[in-house]
Structure 1
Amino acid sequence: MSEDLLINITPQETRVALVIQGAVQELHIERTHSRGLTGNVYLGKVVRVLPGMQSAFIDIGLERAAFLHVADIWEARSGESGNLTPIEKMLFDGQVLTVQVIKDPIGSKGARLSTQISIAGRMLVYLPQDNHIGISQKIENEAEREQLRSRLQSLLPPDEKGGFIVRTVAEEASDADMQADIDYLRKIWSAIGAAARSKPPTSLLYQDLNLAQRVLRDFVNDETNAIFVDSRENYLALSEFSSAYMPKELARLQHYTGERPLFDLYGVEEEILRALGRRVDLKSGGYLIVDQTEAMTTIDVNTGGYVGGRNFADTIFKTNLEAAHAIARQLRLRNLGGIIILDFIDMENAEHRNAVLAELKKALSRDRTKVSVSSFSALGLVEMTRKRTRESLAHVLCEPCPACGGRGQVKTSRTICYEILRELLREAKQFNPREFRILASQEVVDLFLEEESQHLAMLGDFIGKKISLQVETSYHQEQYDVILM
């Protein structure tokens, strides 16, 4: 299927949209002031070792200390027995070590680290502490895998100490292309080593490519038709980068000069707005409800107005099949990760359940991020996980509602009226002012003047004080103050 990559660049942020057959499938946003950290290499300093959790907190110069688990310490796995060496036998407070970010800070959690450094190139991933040659799992033909391994080994000297992982794009690469990638990766590792010897602890030793450069390195494949860049300055910079490291992709790179904004032309702005909503409408008339929480994401499938098909079971089956494709797209579009629970419409027919599950797995096969899908549970739910390496689209673009604190709902004006009445009674028992003044939203004041006027008057008589009302237009419905005059 034909793919287009749209790169919208402004001084404050870079946005990338992957469009397949006219539909936006992925959105990536990188802001200048909060650029992602995954792939960066730091000279970390151990702040605290926690033997009970077999982990440690590492200071890498960020606001929050980063997290290092024993399973992510390369030296812990070097024993012949296969058992992990206890973390307290390898690390101590104040120790300085080279670490790499493998997961960005998410919410209140700090970055996750590893001591096994990996540096990604166009065709290869370099593992300087390993001596293993691995092949991408997406290359399934065993003969082709062995051929690639042999080709790479022939390019390496006998005393090579590092290891490599061959990426999918290396299938069409020449020996010269692979050799250039090897030299480029070794040069980066040499620079990291030199920086580690000369810089103080908590220093940044290596920063991964920016989003636009990573697009050229990681996203482009044989199905990519064109890469449109709407900034001339950045188009020239990307052309120079492409010429140096991936000349074959230079022909796909195009400078977009149209009058309409690039994202408007392809309908990406509208797609972003839809991706921030809970409801996703299906063409058949059914719809999804997507609810994202800190613990997990739930996706509920509903038939809505769809009544097609020969019978009700057929209607449910067709809605679930359509939902399977929509779910796979929404996961990529919104970058949802962690535990995901899918609540398809109940199907009694086992063949229908198997067909829907197969369709879901097929739709997820194009996902660049690692996913794992279970079968239908006894409750008719599908549990799955999707690796979370960066914030979701909603967490990047939005923040909790100041009115409801992220609950997704607000107290009614009547509830607030009754809270204010209780607050007035509490204040009257402690203080003896001349007057109480209520500052509240228009909705709350209107209710006090109309339906709740009798209760307000009764309370005023009971406490023996005047109660006045004042509208504060800047207050949201839950916000109020009781002023002692």
Structure 2
Amino acid sequence: MSGEILINLTPMETRVAVVEGGVLQEAWIERRRRRGIVNNVYLGRVARVLPGMQAAFVDIGHDRTAFLHVHELTPSGQGEPERPIGELLREGQPLTVQVLKDPIGSKGARLTAQLSIPSRYLVFMPGASHIGVSQRIEDSGERERLRQLVTASAESCGYHGGGFIVRTAAEGADETALAADMAFVLRLYQHIDNERRSAQPPRLLYEDLSLATRTLRDVMRDDIERVRIDSRDSFEEVHAFARQLMPGVASRLEHYTGERPIFDLFSVEDELARALQRRVDLKSGGYLIIDQTEAMSTIDVNTGTFVGHRNLEETIFRTNLEAAGAIARQLRLRNIGGIIIVDFIDMLDSEHQRQVLRALEKALERDHARNRLTGVTELGLVQMTRKRTRESLEQILCETCPTCQGRGRLRSSETLCYDIFRDIVRSGRTASARNCLVMASAAVIDRLRDQESAPLAELEGYIGGTIRLQVEPHYAQEQYDIVLM
């Protein structure tokens, strides 16, 4: 399926949209005041060692210290027993680290001491010694060809101090392109190492590329027909990057000068607005309900108005099949990561279950983020994980509701009326005043005057005084005050 990338830049933020078949599939937003730090390399200082957690907090010069687990200190898979972190780190020790995950919510950044420096075709790992090839390159002959070319390039440049991972984008690349990519990434690492030798912690040693440029590096594929950029300066920056490292891509870059805002193309703005809603309608009449929490995200599939043409089982099967594709797209579009639970509509036919699960796996193959399905549980739920490195679309664009404080629910006007009654009784027992003024939202006051008028009259008799009611138009539904008079 052919596609294109739209890049919109303003002084405040950069936005990238990946469109396939005329439909928005992925979106990234980076704001100048809150730019992500994933892949950045720092010379940090160990702030605190936590032996009980086998972890440490590292000061990298940000407001919150970052988290480093002992697993990220030494290369894995060497057959050596894991040493206690207290033997490896001490407070105040300088340490070169790289950011794996942005700070999300109340959590600080997640770090690794095993650096990996990405380029277009290769990832250089100074602390490793092997050459690996992306699992997404399935052809065994091509995998072996790439491994041999990278080995030969490493030998020819005389560098034997690290390992490489061949990225998916390298499939079909020739020897010259791979050698140029290797030379670039080795020069970059040498620059980082030189900076480290003369720096005092905490210090930023390397900042990853801008969103527009790393989109070209990480997302560009053969089936992307063109990249349209609506900023002349950014276009020239990206074009210079492409000429140096991706010459075959430079011809597909375009400076967009159309009268319509670039994100009005393919209705990208409307799609972004819909991506913030809980409900996602399916073409058949079914729908999804997507809820994101700190611990996990849940997706519920419903038939809605879809009644099918044959029988109930067939209707459920068709709805679940359509939902599988929609779920994969929503995960990419909303950038939902972590633990994800999908509640498909219950299917009695085991073959239908298998086909729906396979459809979901197939749809997830286009996802650039690593994901893993664990099958169907005894309760009929599909469990999966998706690698989370940056904030989701909702976390970037939204904030916690000040009225409900993120609960997504408000106490009903009926509940609030009864709370008010109890507070009046409580106040009457501790104060000499008998008359009082209740100030609340219109919904609560209207209920007190209507459905709760009889209990209100009884309460006035009980306290031996008068209860006045006053609407406060600026009060939220859960807000009220009682003034004794």
Q: Normalization by structure 2: what TM-score?
A: 0.95
Q: Which residue is equivalent to 1:338?
A: 338
Q: Take 1:46 and 1:466, find their aligned partners in 2: how far apart are those partners?
A: 64
Q: Which residue is equivalent to 2:379?
A: 379
What count of residue pairs does the alignment treat as equivalent? 483
Structure 2 unaligned regions, length at least 5: none
Q: Which amino acid aligns with 1:13?
A: E
Q: Which residue is equivalent to 1:37?
A: 37
1:3-152 equivalent positions in 2, closer than 5 A: 3-74=3-74, 77=76, 81-152=79-150
In structure 2, the CA distance between the partners of 1:127 and 1:451, relative to structure 1 (3 Å rule), is: same
**SS of match in other structure, 2:165:** strand
1:398-409 equivalent positions in 2, closer than 5 A: 398-409=398-409
Q: Take 1:171 and 1:450, find their aligned partners in 2: how far apart are those partners?
A: 72
Q: Take 1:397 and 1:345, find their aligned partners in 2: how far apart are those partners?
A: 31
Q: Take 1:347 and 1:469, find their aligned partners in 2: how far apart are those partners?
A: 55
1:423-438 equivalent positions in 2, closer than 5 A: 423-433=423-433, 435-438=435-438
C-alpha displacement of 1:453: 3.0
Structure 1 unaligned regions, length at least 5: none
1:171-210 equivalent positions in 2, closer than 5 A: 171-210=171-210
Contact residue 45 and residue 60 of structure 2 kept, 8 A: yes
C-alpha displacement of 1:360: 1.1
Q: Which residue is equivalent to 2:364?
A: 364
In structure 2, the CA distance between the partners of 1:122 and 1:81, relative to structure 1 (3 Å rule), is: closer
Q: Take 2:437 and 2:32, find their aligned partners in 1: how far apart are those partners?
A: 47
Contact residue 428 and residue 434 of structure 2 kept, 8 A: no
Pair 1:481 & 2:481 matched: yes
Which deviates the most, 263-272 or 448-457?
A: 448-457
Pair 1:223 & 2:218 matched: no
Contact residue 434 and residue 464 of structure 2 kept, 8 A: no
C-alpha displacement of 1:57: 1.1
Q: Which residue is equivalent to 1:256?
A: 256
Q: Which residue is equivalent to 2:295?
A: 295
Q: Take 1:387 and 1:427, find their aligned partners in 2: how far apart are those partners?
A: 53
Q: Which residue is equivalent to 2:238?
A: 238
**SS of match in other structure, 2:298:** strand
Contact residue 400 and residue 406 of structure 2 kept, 8 A: yes
1:405-484 equivalent positions in 2, closer than 5 A: 405-433=405-433, 435-484=435-484
Contact residue 58 and residue 68 of structure 2 kept, 8 A: yes
In structure 2, the CA distance between the partners of 1:235 and 1:433, relative to structure 1 (3 Å rule), is: farther
Which deviates the most, 18-27 or 409-418?
A: 409-418
* Deviation by residue 1:429-479 (Cα, 9 ceiling, x = unmatched): 333458533221111122222232333343334334443332222211111
* Deviation by residue 1:317-369 (Cα, 9 ceiling, x = unmatched): 11111111111111111111111111111111111111111111111111111
Q: Which amino acid aligns with 1:404?
A: C
Contact residue 434 and residue 463 of structure 2 kept, 8 A: no
Q: Normalization by structure 1: what TM-score?
A: 0.95
Q: Take 1:6 and 1:145, find their aligned partners in 2: how far apart are those partners?
A: 32
**SS of match in other structure, 2:249:** helix
**SS of match in other structure, 1:57:** strand
Q: Which amino acid aligns with 1:100?
A: Q
C-alpha displacement of 1:111: 0.9
**SS of match in other structure, 2:30:** strand
Q: Take 2:180 and 2:362, find their aligned partners in 1: how far apart are those partners?
A: 35
* Deviation by residue 1:102-125 (Cα, 9 ceiling, x = unmatched): 111111111110000111111111
C-alpha displacement of 1:308: 1.7
**SS of match in other structure, 1:478:** coil
* Deviation by residue 1:403-448 (Cα, 9 ceiling, x = unmatched): 2121111111121111122222222333345853322111112222
C-alpha displacement of 1:252: 1.0
Q: Which amino acid aligns with 1:208?
A: D
Q: Which amino acid aligns with 2:136?
A: K
C-alpha displacement of 1:40: 0.6
Which deviates the most, 323-332 or 175-184?
A: 175-184
Pair 1:322 & 2:322 matched: yes
In structure 2, the CA distance between the partners of 1:174 and 1:402, relative to structure 1 (3 Å rule), is: same
Q: Take 1:81 and 1:411, find their aligned partners in 2: how far apart are those partners?
A: 56
Q: Take 1:199 and 1:374, find their aligned partners in 2: how far apart are those partners?
A: 45
1:279-290 equivalent positions in 2, closer than 5 A: 279-290=279-290
Q: Which amino acid aligns with 2:175?
A: D
Q: Take 1:435 and 1:297, find their aligned partners in 2: how far apart are those partners?
A: 50
Q: Take 1:185 and 1:448, find their aligned partners in 2: how far apart are those partners?
A: 71
Q: Which amino acid aligns with 1:167?
A: R
Q: Take 1:244 and 1:381, find their aligned partners in 2: how far apart are those partners?
A: 48
C-alpha displacement of 1:237: 2.3
